[in-house]
Amino acid sequence: MSESEVVKVERYNGVSTIIMNRPHKRNAMSPELHVAMDSTLKELEKDNDTKVVVIRGAGGTFSAGQDLKEFFRAMEDKPAEAKHIQEIANRWRWERLYNYEKPTIAMVEGYCVGGAFMQLLATDFAIAADNATFSLSEVNWGILPGGLVGKVVADSVLYRHALYYACLGDAFDGKEAARVGFVNFSVPQDKLEAEVDKLAQKLMAKSPAVLTATKQAMRAVRTMDFGQAADYLYAKNAAIRANDPEQSYKTGMSQFLDKKTFRPVYEPFKLGTLLTDQSVKK
Ligand code: COA
């Protein structure tokens, strides 16, 4: 695992927590941190022991966004270096996370500012502390929300909220972030870790193949018309049934219809039961 000083990984029972680790700079993202996040995410995606990835920051704060000194000022006279690091910064915070095979959760406490909205909104789920502080601060120090921040914000929440917070730069708390839709929900600070773990456990109880296909499909249909979406979803379901090692469809059907051992409205079917389950209809 390519851990570095600026990025740490903690593993526990299938959950790998990636920690942005520059607490003295409120986890502002330096070029070094971008490189380390990119390689860490890449490695965890193929790590068999990692079922869910959580992203958080050290020292009680998520991230104060791009490092204004190291990512901006130090790059002003180095266009080639700046382009290279911008590509890496966008890759891990967008392409990699957005298309990640495994479920991802952002755990937000302390500050979540500017460029940090990209990893916030590229993860599948986000839970914040009620007292976290969010801000699209760019307008306050002289740029617009660049990288892809403006795009992901405009795509993620209602247009009026996106415009309001991008143009005002006002700080808002975790409860407001949940109301507007930047995070799924917020909880008291002392319950944050437990709530993130609870969500991770729920995700790990699902069929991995079906969960991955579901999140890929929900993202993909956003930019399709109805005809394209119907066709794509039909094909995606066929692909799950053809390739799923759990044979989730047959197993789930059998456990509900034949064995009557679970009810889908309240819980997922029991994973890992197919091989001993002779009653699954072929
Ligand atoms: N880039 C570079 N350095 C940053 C930083 C950033 N985005 N955010 C914080 N830091 C540094 C500060 O310069 C300070 O460094 P120093 O100790 O060498 O002086 C250190 O982190 C602590 O910051 P400080 O402002 O003293 O902490 P605070 O808890 O009082 O306030 C913030 C925290 C996040 C409210 C404040 O630092 C801030 O407004 N940062 C700018 C955030 C921003 O606009 N980010 C957008 C980038 S896209």
Per the listing, tokens 């382009």 go with: 83
Q: Report CA(26)–ligand 1 centroid distance (Å).
A: 6
Q: Determine if the pTM surpasses 0.85.
A: yes
pLDDT value at residue 4? 77
What 3-state DSSP class applies to 8? strand
pLDDT value at residue 245? 87
Ligand 1 near 134 CB (within 6 A) = no
Pocket test for ligand 1, best of 26, 30, 66, 170 (most atoms within 8 A of CB): 26
Averaged pLDDT, groups of 10, the chain, 282 residues long: 82 97 98 98 97 98 97 96 97 95 98 98 98 98 94 96 98 98 98 98 96 96 97 96 90 94 93 59 49
Q: Report CA(68)–ligand 1 centroid distance (Å).
A: 9
Contact by Cβ (8 Å): 54, 196: yes
pLDDT value at residue 272? 77
Q: Report CA(133)–ligand 1 centroid distance (Å).
A: 13
- In degrees rounded to 5, what are phi and psi of residue 113? -130, 145
pLDDT value at residue 3? 58
Ligand 1 near 111 CB (within 6 A) = yes
Measured CA to CA, the distance from residue 210 to residue 213 in angstroms comes to 5
Minimal-distance CA residue to ligand 1 atom 1: 67
Type of residue found at 177? A
